[in-house]
A and B are shown apart, each in its own frame.
Chain A
Amino acid sequence: MANGQEEKGEVKEMTGAKWEREQALVQKILEKAPYAEGRVRRERRIEFKVPADRIRDFLMTLKENNFELMLQITVVDWLKEGEYELVYQMWSITHRTHAMVKTRIPRELDKARMPTVKDIYPVAETYERDAHDFYGVYFEGNEKMEMPWILDDAEQGLFPHRKDFDMLAYVKKKYKILDRFDENKDNYVI
């Protein structure tokens, strides 16, 4: 195990010089956005950490720096920390680089609010609807937030992808197949 870690460290030092193009790109973006933290993950993969209230400014900076495509908005529910991590997956055709823009917001439903970025990347409207349906993140300024997306009307407000969503209780209630389950056993894999 110790050997493996040493080897990894060596690889990092060796390839540090190889990723000059990515390093230069991160430096260029950080100069315009000093509030962010950035690093190179590996070849063609970079990562930024941005405070939640500066996300619009930062994505505008990225758009000016030829990040043309927004691939996805991922929400990760960190239950222990009590936070949602929002990952904006960006791709630049010009630089051939994938950038993850990470930001953290509280996971309480009344505090999980973000400004919309649909005026910067119009496709974000769809991703924001998706994040709202499954996680309850409210994107202010997105008119389609209340429109039905994938879940049924009866499932609105449940936010089933949250880590503390009780799937077993939901399945029992929804499909009324109580006799199939043994009440004493609690760790079913549904």
Chain B
Amino acid sequence: MVSQSELIKEARENGMELLPLDKDTYELFFGPQHMATENFSIILKMDGHRVVKAIANPGFLHRGFEKLAELRPWYTNIALLLRICVPEPDVPEAIYSMAVDELMGWEVPERAHWIRTTVLEMARVSAYLFWIMGLSFKLGVYTAGQWAAAYRERLMALFEELTGARVYHIYTIPGGVRRDIPGDKWLRQLKDTVEYIKSKLPDFDHLVFENYITFKRMEGIGVMDKKFALAEGVTGPNLRATGVPYDVRRMDPYLLYPELDFEVPVLKEGDALARALIRRYELEQDLYILEQLLEMGPPSGPYKVQDPRLKNLPRFKVPAGDAFAHVESTKGDFGAYVVSDGGNKPYRVQIRGPSIAHGIRVLEQLLVGARIADVPVILMSLDNCPPDIDR
């Protein structure tokens, strides 16, 4: 048996630094190659199978989008910024476009409003299905995860027909959307898909959300209260699971949301189970919103603004000023702050990802005292999305 001091000495000779620990504690590098963390790493200090201390270690996905956006023309940035949120790339597109619309003083046509709202809701549904897939894999209920992936695939096919791309759509642009709806057939297909996914929700309930294993594994872990969540800037389903009915679609209505009828589900427990159930209820609400939108039908008219300045896009200029726009994503309050100095490129673009609030400090505090097997479950219940921390 080699002693600890010898190990430290050997490591130092090889250019590494091993920290001396107490007799029974050890350091565990959780991620970035771990399946649960998704390009994110947590340094855990363990005592047996309990976490004593957790340090979030982001940066594996940093691609410098905010800096790169300052070097590219206004419209080119759409193809760049949407990569900030991988599960629902329509959200960064929408917030950037809304901020530019505000700077330009454009009244976006009603048809574009309808299409943008539909795309955002479709993105929410596909992101929640993606999340169900992740959660069930972490709980060990693999069947439900494969179902969710298959149902998401239907939405991907619809996205492909609408935008030409499956994951990164590059569709919502300042002033409207890039292309019109392909036709009534697409609307019928979307309606069928919504009905189909809705009919499959009870299956998910049986297998995941009403499952004894889920309750046993998620109830009472990672608890946060209202005051803590607000002080830590937590938004979205994680905040609503603590009893605060904050939903950007209600509080700061944008697009067609003032005309739509939907509930904001709120639970009071604030544990991992409550956060999971909130997402389950919201998936149902999103499908209900899509039904309403389809019933309403797309209004006639142009799908983007008609402006002579749009003829030469590389030289397209935005008046000097700044604007903040935010939408409700499945992770929380997703915001963009855009500054223009009157040139053909943005002066500054700042994307506020919701995970920067609940993925660093909140995670570090919730993990203390958790068992090693609960770490992926807490991560998944927070729906931590590393790309919007790193940007």
C-alpha gap A69/B246 in the complex (Å): 11
B257 at the interface (CB under 8 A from A): no
- Chain B contacts for A76, CB-based, 8 A: 339, 347-348
- Chain A contacts for B67, CB-based, 8 A: 160-161, 167
- Chain B contacts for A121, CB-based, 8 A: 231, 233
Residue of B nearest to A97 (CB): B252
Could you tell me the distance in whole angstroms from the C-beta of B24 to the nearest C-beta in chain A? 26
Contact B58 A149, beta carbon cutoff 8 Å: yes
Which secondary structure characterizes the binding site on chain B?
A: mixed
C-alpha gap A149/B347 in the complex (Å): 24
A125 at the interface (CB under 8 A from B): yes
Contact A69 B324, beta carbon cutoff 8 Å: no
Which chain A residues (66-96) contact chain B, with CB distance < 8 Å?
68-72, 74, 76-77, 87, 89, 91, 93, 96
Q: Count A-side interface residues using an 8 Å CB cutoff.
A: 36
- Chain A contacts for B350, CB-based, 8 A: 72, 74
Residue of B nearest to A77 (CB): B348
> What total of A-B pairs shows CB separation below 8 Å?
84
Contact A100 B58, beta carbon cutoff 8 Å: no
A177 at the interface (CB under 8 A from B): no
Could you tell me the distance in whole angstroms from the C-beta of B224 to the nearest C-beta in chain A? 12
Which secondary structure characterizes the binding site on chain A?
A: mixed
Contact B324 A45, beta carbon cutoff 8 Å: yes
- Chain A contacts for B66, CB-based, 8 A: 134, 161
Query: B residues near A, CB below 8 A?
Result: 57-59, 62, 64, 66-68, 71-72, 105, 230-233, 235, 244, 246, 251-252, 322, 324, 326, 333, 335, 337, 339, 347-348, 350, 352, 356-357, 360-361, 389-390
Could you show 28 A-B contacts with beta carbons less than 8 Å apart? A8-B105, A68-B230, A69-B230, A69-B235, A69-B246, A71-B233, A71-B333, A89-B324, A89-B335, A89-B352, A91-B333, A93-B244, A98-B324, A122-B232, A126-B356, A126-B361, A127-B356, A148-B59, A149-B58, A150-B59, A150-B389, A150-B390, A151-B59, A152-B59, A161-B66, A167-B71, A190-B68, A190-B71
